Structure 1
């Protein structure tokens, strides 16, 4: 039967990750497997907990709730700024990713979600925040 995966094991996983509407957000297969050391917080702890106890070759559908993945969408992660803060020569469109530098020197990539002549609304939430994630996952092998 083979042994089961436990914390500290290096494992190779293959998966297809989808959101509620079935859209694929990520995948890795035989050609590009993901190598993970269980217990090292390299993946969501909730996903790691599901892999622990699996055997090599085992397949599982795993639902990770939003709060255990990228968390909820937070209004605090949106920002409305004056259009005049950007160079007039810079075209800004909805859906465009912009690197914003804050007063403390921190830089964040934010998504323009609303643009008009006076204001630009930016969203700093992770694109998958607020979404439950489903992984069709195969534990390909346990590397000892």
Structure 2
């Protein structure tokens, strides 16, 4: 069976940057997702379309097809007193915040100054070319429930 919309795909992957540094990998666990439900970045999903179990390939994903370019407007300087309720505020700390549209976003502290904190709402991989090495392990048709919920159910998938 070839990967198409509403396929449940099981794969192994290694993700590296352009210097060959491993950013993420599935290691011994398989990664499952529902193809066509926008559960993975577009560049990888597009590359998987038409592949079958047993296929192995590499793909370079541009920032536009990955996590987007870095948006300077997502980097803000805010008063340090806004963090008075946090135990410790230091570079690298991540927390959830709301963007101007009311969406939940992960924000990273990039600098702590005397009176202010610089935060970045960009995804950590925004602006980065992503290099995937992928092995497709299994492809099956999704159940009606998986399609209606927009994600995989069962072992290694989402449980209800």
TM-score over 0.5 for the pair? yes
- Whether the aligned pair in 1 keeps the contact of 2:60 and 2:132 (CA below 8 Å) is yes
Report what 2:147 is aligned to.
none
TM-score, length of structure 1 as denominator length? 0.83
Cα distance 1:103–1:33, how it changes in 2: closer, same or farther (>3 A)? closer
1:17 to 2:46 alignment:
no
CA distance in 1, matches of 2:6, 2:111: 45
Which one has a bigger Cα radius of gyration? Answer: 1
| C-alpha RMSD over aligned residues | 2.4
Between 133-142 and 106-115, the greater mean CA deviation after superposition: 106-115
The CA deviation at 1:8 is 2.3
1:34 aligns to 2:42 (yes or no): no
2:107: which partner in 1? 110
Q: Residue 129 of structure 1 corresponds to which residue in structure 2?
A: 126
2:51 to 38, 51, 54: 54
Unaligned runs of 5+ in 2: 142-160
Give the counterpart of 2:66 among 69, 72, 81: 69
Pick the aligned partner of 1:82 from 70, 79, 84.
79
Q: Which moved further from structure 2: 50-59 or 95-104?
A: 95-104
- Give the alignment's TM-score, normalised by structure 2: 0.75
Deviation at 1:107, TM superposition (A): 5.3
Tell me the CA shift for residue 24 of structure 1.
Answer: 1.7
Please report how far the alpha carbon of residue 132 of structure 1 lies from its aligned counterpart in structure 2 after TM superposition: 0.8
1:106: how far off? Answer: 6.0
Aligned residues: 141
Shift of 1:121: 0.8
| Structure 1 residue runs without a partner (length 5+) | none
Residues 97 and 8 of structure 1, relative CA distance in 2, 3 Å threshold = closer
